Amino acid sequence: MADSIADAIISAFGDKLPGELIVFIISMLPVVELRGGIIAAKLLDISFIKAFIICFMGNFLPVPFILIFIKKIFDFLRDKKRFSGIIKKLEDKTYMRSEKALRWKGWGLLLFVAVPIPGTGGWTGSLIAALLEMKMKVSLPVIALGIFIADFIMCVLFYFILGSVI
């Protein structure tokens, strides 16, 4: 999924925006996050180090905002007919995924963010931390480290292991 979204964004904006900006934007998007950013960086021939830094920054940028504002946004939107179902669904999914984070505290959140598979990452990790009311001084560095690890795994995977395929 991340590769098809990355391809679509590159096709739409590849000749209009610098590759680095495209990678940064893709890395900021929920669901796709740095998984799609790394794929886009490889497709755009951006170097390993540059891709690593851009994807980390793009994926991390929304995290403090999610931690600070998401509960207020959810509370505001919950009263709107159009959004109440979506908010309920997001909260239910997040609470379902948060069991390990609750059981293992920061370690569970770290593993959840660090393993780069669909449904995990900085956005969902931030949602979990915010909805479980984890302290920002604990959750922010844990999520940052998780993003760093996921970024490293994806870069190694796409630049060295699968590099010749893409």
pLDDT at 88: 85
Tally: H helices and E strands in the chain? 9, 0
- Check pLDDT > 60 for residue 166: no
The pLDDT tens digits of the residues spanning 104-160 come to 677 889 998 999 888 889 998 998 899 888 899 999 999 999 999 999 999 999 888
pLDDT at 17: 86
**37 contacts 23 by C-beta, under 8 angstroms:** yes
Tell me the C-alpha distance between 134 and 55, whole Å.
25
- Check pLDDT > 70 for residue 2: no
Element (H, E) at 99: helix 99-114
Residue 13 backbone phi and psi in degrees, to 5? -120, 0
Tell me the C-alpha distance between 6 and 65, whole Å.
24
Tell me the C-alpha distance between 43 and 135, whole Å.
38
- Check pLDDT > 90 for residue 93: no
Answer with the residue of higher pLDDT: 9 or 109: 109
The pLDDT tens digits of the residues spanning 37-88 come to 999 999 899 999 999 999 999 999 999 999 999 989 888 888 888 888 888 8
- Check pLDDT > 70 for residue 24: yes
pLDDT confidence band for 164 (50 / 70 / 90): low
pTM score of the predicted model: 0.85
pLDDT confidence band for 163 (50 / 70 / 90): low
